[in-house]
Structure 1
Amino acid sequence: MNVKMSQAVDQFSDKDVVPDYTILSHRWMEGEEVTYQEFIKDQEQTRSKAGYKKILRACQWTLVMGGQYLWVDTCCIDNGNHDEIARNIRSMYAYYQNASFCYAYLADVRTHGDFTSSEWWERGWTLQELLAPPRVHFYDKKWRQIGSKHELRHEIAELTDIPQEVLSVDVLERMSWTTGRETTKPQDRAYCLMGLLNVSLKPNYEEHLPFVSPQPK
């Protein structure tokens, strides 16, 4: 989305040169998130949602950082288009990896001391959102900065069992980091790993995918 133009969601094809953009990592709030259709219509009911206010604050931070574009999964993906959903799921890791900056919004954190108790650490999708971006900054409920991934690396490593040097970690160990994490849809337990494991498959939410969590070493 173009943060300098209200309710503007710019489209870029694979052939376009994509400008620098920031990206949001967050825990979805049931019934409060803003869909693509709701965002572009800009109705009063939509503006009253907590998810809309969350998007506005992320836009404000993007402007502060001198940026123009922000990507948010809830309103930048047309969830009524199954092909678009599948394409975006396959590209999700790349979206976070190529972002110039990632805002990790912890809506259930009120103080720095609550940082490690956030539900954000228990979700399946947030694993790649932690590892893929070159720069991740964490924010509390009121959008106050908690610190960066680099500044908090010791706390993060202790909490997640993810070593600070992760580039050469093997597949089984990467999969073991998902232990204790949850996803709303059972199939997402597999799909949220695709970017981390460098695999690609077409998501199908009508099929049953058995999933066995590997044990950490």
Structure 2
Amino acid sequence: MRLLQYNSNGDSLTEFFDSDIPKYTILSHRWGAEEVTLKDLIDGTSKSKADYGKIQFCGEQAKQLIAPASVDFFSKEGELLGNKASLERHIYEITGIPVSALRGSLLSDFSIAERMSWAERRETTRKEDQAYSLLGIFDVYMPLIYGEGKEHAFKRLRELINAHSRGK
């Protein structure tokens, strides 16, 4: 697993294996006009990209967001919009994710079809990301293959979910 380590000296990409993987934070975002890529981080050109400021901002948030009790939402300008609790009604209305799920109900309490529906209204730059965004919700892993298309990504996801549920 490659993780971006952020500190006051800048960021660095570090690879971890199996039991050496440290606690980490996942920060979700919407793609920008000039997004920083893995290649940019590796070859050192990331700081020249227009959207590098988002990386810096997210890094500062991550230093605070390890196992957060609350999930905060920010505007693209870095303004705090609210947290998961204060915005739960809006989150439900926009995503269709039930408030009980947002409050921590077990995901297994929701049917596979219901959990799949949570991505239906999700707007993504890359259509495959609608399927990829559900990987953690179903506790499955599959390689991301950009260019495979939304339908194929969902087909692979359904096959994994079915195999995973048969194994339980």
Question: Which TM-score bucket, shorter chain as reference?
Answer: 0.5 to 0.7
Q: Which residue of 2 aligns with 1:35?
A: 37
Change (3 A) 1:54 1:201: closer
Distance 1:210 1:41 in 2: 29
Distance 1:210 1:10 in 2: 28
Q: Which residue of 1 aligns with 2:12?
A: 8
Tell me if the contact between 1:157 and 1:164 (Cα under 8 Å) persists in the aligned partners: yes
Matched, 1:191 2:132: yes
Change (3 A) 1:187 1:58: closer
Amino acid at match of 1:15: S
Matched, 1:24 2:15: no
Instruction: Give secondary structure in 1 for the equivalent of 2:20.
Output: coil
Q: Which residue of 2 aligns with 1:57?
A: 57
Fraction of identical pairs, as percent: 36
Distance 1:34 1:210 in 2: 24
| Structure of higher RCO (CA pairs closer than 8 Å, 6+ residues apart) | 1
Measured after TM superposition, the shift of residue 137 of structure 1 is 0.7
Amino acid at match of 1:35: T
Question: Over the residues paired in the alignment, what is the CA RMSD in angstroms?
Answer: 2.9
Measured after TM superposition, the shift of residue 144 of structure 1 is 1.8
Measured after TM superposition, the shift of residue 172 of structure 1 is 1.0
Q: Which residue of 2 aligns with 1:47?
A: 47
Please list every run of 5 or more consecutive structure 2 residues that lacks an aligned counterpart in the other structure. 156-168
Distance 1:186 1:196 in 2: 18
Matches within 5 A, 1:1-217: 1-4=4-7, 5-18=9-22, 20-30=23-33, 32-43=34-45, 46-63=46-63, 65=64, 99-101=66-68, 135-166=70-101, 167=106, 168-205=109-146, 207=148, 209=152
Please list every run of 5 or more consecutive structure 1 residues that lacks an aligned counterpart in the other structure. 68-98, 102-133, 213-217
Larger helix fraction of residues: 2
Measured after TM superposition, the shift of residue 207 of structure 1 is 4.9
Amino acid at match of 2:27: L
Instruction: Give secondary structure in 1 for the equivalent of 2:136.
Output: helix
TM-score of the two chains, using structure 1 as the length reference: 0.54
Change (3 A) 1:3 1:193: closer
Distance 2:111 2:138 in 1: 9
CA deviation map 1:180-217 (0-9, x unaligned)? 224444444433333323344444456562869xxxxx
